Amino acid sequence: MRVMRRFLTRLANFVARRKSDQRLLEEIEEHIALQTAENLRAGMEPAEARRHALMKFGAREAVREEYHAERRLPSIENLLQDSRIALRTLAKSPGFAAAAILVLALGIGALTTVATWTNAVLYNPWPHVAAPRELRFVDSTVLGNQGYSVHYDQYRFVRESGRSWNDTIAFAKTSVSLVDAGVQPQALSIGIVSSNYFQFLGIQPQSGRLFLPGANDRSYGSNDEIVLSDALWRSQFDANRSIVGRAIAVNGRPYTVVGVAPPDFAGIFGGVAEAAWIPLSSLRDLSADSGPDPLFSYGLQVALRLRPGVNDRTAAAELHTLANTFALQHHPGSALARWDRDLNLRDAAHFSRGLFGTIGDQLPVLLGASVLLMVLVCINIASLLSQHAARRRREVAIRTALGATPTRIAAQVLVETGLLAFAGALAGWAASTGMARSLYVLLPNFGVPLAFNLQSDSRILLFVTVVGVIVTLVCGIYPVRQSLRISQNAALHEGGSSVTGGSGRSLGRRFLLGLQLGICFIVLVCCGLLTRTALNIANRATGFNRANCLTANVDLSRSGYSPERGLAFQSALLDRLRTVPGVASATLTSHLPMGDDGEGNTQDISIPGYVPAKGEEMAVITDFEGPDFFRIMGIALRQGREFDTNDNASSTPVAVINETMAQRYWPKGGSIGSSIVIDKHPYRVVGIVRDYAYSNPANADPEPLLFVPLAQRYASYVIMALRSRTTPSAITAQLRQAVASLDDGLPVENVRTLEDVTSQRYQMSRIPAELLSVYAISSVLVAMLGLYAVMAYSVIERHREFALRIALGSTRAAIFRLVLSSSAWTAVLGLVTGGLGSIAAVRLLRSMLFGVTPFDPTTYCVAAALLVVTVFISGFSPARRAASVQPIQALRTE
Amino acid sequence: MKQKTDVRQGTLDLMVLKTLDVLGQLHGYGIARRIEQISGDLLAVNQGTLYPVLLKLEQEGAIASEWGASENNRRARFYRLTRAGHRLLEAETRDWERTATIIGRFFEVKAEDLS
């Protein structure tokens, strides 16, 4: 209470800038007058009496100082004063300030970007969700593999019988077609959720209502409702509140919009952005051939919240027990059969990372790299600051002579460092908001929109502040120590003890710089190798023609096509596309070369006459192709023929295979004319095509591929591929028109050129090289700055030496060479350490390289040359300054 | 050898409070003199250090001050104890006495008393 009151009074005095020197002076005067009078009474001489009174009072200035310190808040006042001085000092050397802030922004920006992602992926993945860290997820084990989705009946059983959890939800994601007046038909990635989903997550609508938790998920068609995401509401419905209550068509069926979710909420499915949500009970309406009970075979994600006081181990044990009970009830005798799976409990981090293990894997690498960069930044900023402090030797000495305490001098240096650090932190933070978004390119393309919570929340701001403080302290220590040393010597005479300056300390700094250059060298080498890898991959023959081809896909089952109608539609579509003006040729396919990786299209096959080895899986990637697919794609035919319009539902089933498949299953040849059995139907092999880059352009080990005619094996999801007579963009509008003329409610998705499709694959090989080159540039910049600082510092320290040398007849060119040669030694040290380090680093990189050896001489030479050039550039300006020392001036100022 | 007596931190506060309690309103010089008389020249030097202490006590609200006339009829600042100051003095006095008693007992203890 007393302390508080005292502080408040002082604060008030400080704010009001109240100075009551008058009162104290008057009191002191009176005190001394009274004491003098007393002394006179005691019989002293008047002059003696006053002198005694003054002596007895003590040092008046000290009392005044103490009195003022008591009265106001000296720490804040000093801080403000120091800040003003620091701002003035920095304004006097804008180049220094700009360089320091830029480098700090670079380091802090990189670190904050990684922190933002870490936050988005690991700590705050789902804005608006209540207590997201307390969510637990359930997955199932199928045939010994974990991570599978959960069956609805199992979910119901877990929900109703479980005692360790309060409530559970089930959800899945799917793609649907959205049709509405004034909106082009489009495909959306949406969530299908149990009715208690929103209540469970604690989401509040921004308009309308969300799903009512009591609804029965299995009473199909009873609640055809849809909740829109904020993003969809804004982009398609102009943020119009009157949309609530209206019906919109999802896969051709009317759904009533009941509400709009809050901004930034995009579901809890990894980083997949869901555009809207519909209840599980609407599942039957989504596809044409879903059967009477679609939930029976639908894979669901399950989340739950544990009861207070229940730990994860108890809950996991109960889950295993329940899974076992469920299996015994439904399939007595065959425990854990195909439908009846063991259940596993996962924490929230597992799920948010689960789908994007890629990010989870990359984050530690990125974090390590950015921390290393930050350490280098700090070392070099400290070095730069101490160089700066050395120039102000005289100023520090004068301040010391005038009575500045070591604390004040240290505070002054720290305040200056702090200003730089926080300016850098602010710039870095601003840059990170943009950089964080650019990291999306690191994610593999799932063909669905992604959304991570990349908002700079309070946690990120706190992080940036803490980094700023740490940087201030770490970078400030060295210049503070240096200033204090100067202040202790307190000598006004410039120059240290010796003519050449202390060499011991600068040796240590040089060694550190050598190490840094070594790191730069390693990064440059890795960057070079990866760049060559990317170039090699880009130049590698793909085995098909990427140029001048437009692609787009349609999903017929979503729009309610039965297989018969779908087949007729596809045939009509092909006929229509072929007649479009400007189209040279057109075909349909289920997979584009270098499109997705085809993992989902494997078929179990058997080949009469081929006996699989024990444990060999007879499953190959199988694609469905329209007529002339291989000719139109430019894929070379090795033997036989390819599909034509005569291969249809009524003709003999035929198949084409690639070379690898032919060699794998018919090592002695004779594959043409043999048959392959798929689903008990034999397909006769009529042709062999050359291996081409199926998904990954760098894959040197092609997988066997099987192709069958689309007309003989229906697929509802097909991709149109058109060769244009002119350019792909010239026929985009015609493509849409052609589809609309057959069905104007059918969304045309992913309209893009084959170049675009394939370039995404190339991007994957370019990303490491690009990221590393950004890193290489940053680390070289940082090292340059550090190098410059050390060189400039040594030139200041040795400036008397240079003056003497010139006075004694040394030429300026010789001085220039002298300074540069010392930096050459640092370069040599860097090359040696970097060379040794790169042997280890390149070993880690080996698996990522393609068509280039880890010890590629060209790369090493270029990296070394770059490093040497860097060293000389940063040494140039200090060397010139050394050479331009005026001996008369330099020696006279001593 | 003459030893420089530094007043223990907080002790001066207590002396000021007690002086004002006993003598009522006093100006700075008066307080200094009183303390000097009672403490036997403890404050013989550095009387000035009293003023920051007075300011601190005033800012804490333990004492209040106003201008008045001194014995040689000049303007002087007079200090008096506030109600909060009285309470503070009582609390401090109790603390002080307790400490003094305990320390006193320790000084009286002889080796044989502890065996």
Q: Using H for helix, E for strand and C for coil, what is the string for A853-865?
A: CCCCHHHHHHHHH
Question: In 3D, which of A616, A692, A629 has the Cα closest to residue A655?
Answer: A629
B46 contact residues in A (CB cutoff 8 A): 57-59
How many beta-carbon pairs below 8 A join chains A and B?
Answer: 81
In angstroms, the separation between the Cα of residue A84 and the nearest Cα of chain B is: 29
Question: In 3D, which of A231, A273, A260, A234 has the Cα closest to residue A125?
Answer: A273
Interchain contact, A28 vs B49, CB within 8 Å = no
Interchain contact, A63 vs B45, CB within 8 Å = no
Calpha distance A705→A66 (Å, rounded): 89
Question: What pLDDT score was predicted for residue A290?
Answer: 61
Interchain contact, A56 vs B61, CB within 8 Å = no
Decide if A688 contacts A671 (C-beta within 8 A): yes
Could you tell me which chain B residue has the CA closest to the CA of A66?
B52
Calpha distance A550→A723 (Å, rounded): 6
B72 contact residues in A (CB cutoff 8 A): 33-34, 37
Decide if A595 contacts A757 (C-beta within 8 A): yes
In angstroms, the separation between the Cα of residue B115 and the nearest Cα of chain A is: 45
Calpha distance A301→A172 (Å, rounded): 6
Question: What pLDDT score was predicted for residue A391?
Answer: 73
Measured CA distances, A119 to A107, A116, A123, A371 (Å): 18, 5, 5, 16
Interchain contact, B74 vs A33, CB within 8 Å = yes
Q: Helix or strand or coil: residue A294?
A: helix
Question: What pLDDT score was predicted for residue A589?
Answer: 93
- Asked if B88 is an interface residue toward chain A (Cβ–Cβ < 8 A), one would say yes
Interchain contact, A31 vs B28, CB within 8 Å = yes
Q: Which of B9, B37, B55, B74 to mutate to test the interface with A (most CBs of A within 10 A)?
A: B55
Q: b vs e for B50-73, b when ≥16 Cβ sit within 10 Å of the residue's Cβ? A: bbbbbbbbbbbbbbbbeeeebeee
* Residues 6 or more apart whose Cβ sits within 8 Å of residue A159: A167, A168
- Asked if A21 is an interface residue toward chain B (Cβ–Cβ < 8 A), one would say no
- Asked if B66 is an interface residue toward chain A (Cβ–Cβ < 8 A), one would say no
Q: Would you tell me which residues 42-61 of chain A have a C-beta closer than 8 angstroms to some C-beta of chain B?
A: 55-60
Stretch B4-33: mean pLDDT, rounded?
A: 80
Question: What pLDDT score was predicted for residue A793?
Answer: 77
- Asked if B70 is an interface residue toward chain A (Cβ–Cβ < 8 A), one would say yes
Interchain contact, A26 vs B56, CB within 8 Å = no
Measured CA distances, A536 to A271, A529, A848, A854 (Å): 32, 10, 12, 14
Question: What pLDDT score was predicted for residue A496?
Answer: 46
Decide if A609 contacts A629 (C-beta within 8 A): no
pLDDT-based confidence at residue B1 (cuts at 50, 70, 90)? very low
Question: In 3D, which of A764, A757, A696, A697 has the Cα closest to residue A362?
Answer: A764
* Rounded mean pLDDT for each run of 10 residues along chain A, 894 residues in total: 74 67 83 88 89 84 78 76 86 85 90 84 76 83 74 87 89 83 77 91 91 82 87 88 88 88 84 86 70 75 88 89 83 53 75 53 76 87 81 78 79 89 92 80 61 77 92 87 75 47 62 85 89 87 89 85 90 92 92 75 85 82 92 92 89 93 90 89 93 83 90 89 89 88 85 85 78 84 83 80 87 88 86 90 81 88 90 88 82 64
Average pLDDT, chain B: 81
DSSP symbol at A450? B
Q: Which of B35, B59, B78, B92 to mutate to test the interface with A (most CBs of A within 10 A)?
A: B59
- Asked if B74 is an interface residue toward chain A (Cβ–Cβ < 8 A), one would say yes
Decide if A733 contacts A583 (C-beta within 8 A): no
Decide if A687 contacts A693 (C-beta within 8 A): no
Calpha distance B85→B90 (Å, rounded): 9
Decide if B15 contacts B39 (C-beta within 8 A): yes
In angstroms, the separation between the Cα of residue B105 and the nearest Cα of chain A is: 32
Q: Would you tell me which residues 19-48 of chain B have a C-beta closer than 8 angstroms to some C-beta of chain A?
A: 27-29, 32-33, 44-48
Decide if A198 contacts A260 (C-beta within 8 A): no
Question: In 3D, which of A369, A517, A374, A373 has the Cα closest to residue A833?
Answer: A517
Question: What pLDDT score was predicted for residue A442?
Answer: 63
In angstroms, the separation between the Cα of residue B21 and the nearest Cα of chain A is: 19
Calpha distance A91→A448 (Å, rounded): 50
Measured CA distances, A114 to A102, A391, A438, A475 (Å): 18, 37, 12, 22
Question: What pLDDT score was predicted for residue A77?
Answer: 77
**Partners of A654 in the β-ladder:** A684
For chain A, report the end-to-end CA distance as a whole number of angstroms. 57
B76 contact residues in A (CB cutoff 8 A): 27, 30, 34
Q: Which of B29, B33, B72, B92 to mutate to test the interface with A (most CBs of A within 10 A)?
A: B29
Interchain contact, A63 vs B27, CB within 8 Å = no
- Asked if B5 is an interface residue toward chain A (Cβ–Cβ < 8 A), one would say no
Decide if A272 contacts A448 (C-beta within 8 A): yes
Pair of tokens at residue A645: 């319009």
**H helix intervals, A490-548:** 503-539
Calpha distance A607→A614 (Å, rounded): 15
Q: What was the ipTM of the complex prediction?
A: 0.83
Q: What is the pLDDT of residues A629-654, one digit of tens each?
A: 999 999 999 999 999 988 988 899 99
Could you tell me which chain B residue has the CA closest to the CA of A20?
B55
How many other CB atoms are found less than 10 A from the CB of residue A61?
A: 9
| Residue of B48, B76, B77 with shortest CB distance to A60 | B48
* Residues 6 or more apart whose Cβ sits within 8 Å of residue A104: A377, A381, A420, A421, A423, A424, A425, A427, A428, A471
Q: Which of A2, A31, A68, A70 to mutate to test the interface with B (most CBs of B within 10 A)?
A: A31
Calpha distance A884→A605 (Å, rounded): 82
* Residues 6 or more apart whose Cβ sits within 8 Å of residue A639: A672, A687, A688
| Residue of A5, A23, A57 with shortest CB distance to B77 | A23
Decide if A183 contacts A191 (C-beta within 8 A): no
Q: Helix or strand or coil: residue A552?
A: strand
Question: What pLDDT score was predicted for residue A670?
Answer: 86
Could you tell me which chain B residue has the CA closest to the CA of A1?
B60
Question: In 3D, which of A475, A504, A485, A312 has the Cα closest to residue A385?
Answer: A475
A14 contact residues in B (CB cutoff 8 A): none
Interchain contact, A63 vs B52, CB within 8 Å = yes
